[in-house]
Amino acid sequence: GAVVSQHPSWVICKSGTSVKIECRSLDFQATTMFWYRQFPKQSLMLMATSNEGSKATYEQGVEKDKFLINHASLTLSTLTVTSAHPEDSSFYICSARDQAVRGIDEQYFGPGTRLTVT
C-alpha cells in the first residue's frame, strides 16, 4: 500500500526557534497533501491543504506566517513552525492522496511528528 513518511518523528526545540517537518510520499505521487494538528485526546484538526506548485490553503484560525508550508515536488511537502512557542507543542500529522487514483479516495497518513517547545 501507499506509504507516507514524516521526519523527524519527534523534536524538542526552544521557544523562539523554528522547526521544519518533512512529509514524503514514498511510492506514489501526491498532488495534494494535508497537514493536521492533534492535541491529546482531541480530534485531528486540519491546518492547511498543500498543492504541489501552488500556495497552501489554510484553515480559518491558522496563521500562515507562522506555519509555512512548501509543496515543492509531487513527493515532498514541508511544514515550518516559525518562532515556536510552548502552545505550539502538539502532534503534527501529514497525509497525502495518490495522484493516480481518480475520484474519491482514502488518505494515507504519515506516522506523525511530536513537537515539544520548551
Query: Can you say whether the dihedral through the CA atoms of 55, 20, 60, 42 is positive or negative?
Result: positive
The amino acid at 35:
W
Q: Identify the burial level of 39 via C-beta atoms within 10 angstroms of its C-beta, where 0-12 means exposed, 13-18 middle and 19 or more buried.
A: exposed
User: Contact at 8 Å (CB) between 109 and 4?
Assistant: yes
How many C-alpha atoms does 27 have within 13 Å on its Cβ side?
A: 4
- Provide the minimum distance between the beta carbon of 1 and other proteins in the complex, in angstroms, as a whole number: 9
- Provide the minimum distance between the beta carbon of 43 and other proteins in the complex, in angstroms, as a whole number: 4
- Exactly one of 88, 110, 115, 117 binds other proteins (CB under 8 A); that residue is 110
Toward other proteins, which CB reaches closer, 75 or 110?
110
Query: Is residue 32 near other proteins by the rule CB under 8 A?
Result: yes
- Provide the minimum distance between the beta carbon of 50 and other proteins in the complex, in angstroms, as a whole number: 11
- Provide the minimum distance between the beta carbon of 34 and other proteins in the complex, in angstroms, as a whole number: 7
Query: Is residue 41 near other proteins by the rule CB under 8 A?
Result: yes
| Number of residues in contact with other proteins under rule CB under 8 A | 23
Query: Is residue 47 near other proteins by the rule CB under 8 A?
Result: no
Query: Is residue 43 near other proteins by the rule CB under 8 A?
Result: yes
Give the separation between CA 72 and CA 61, rounded to whole angstroms.
Answer: 24
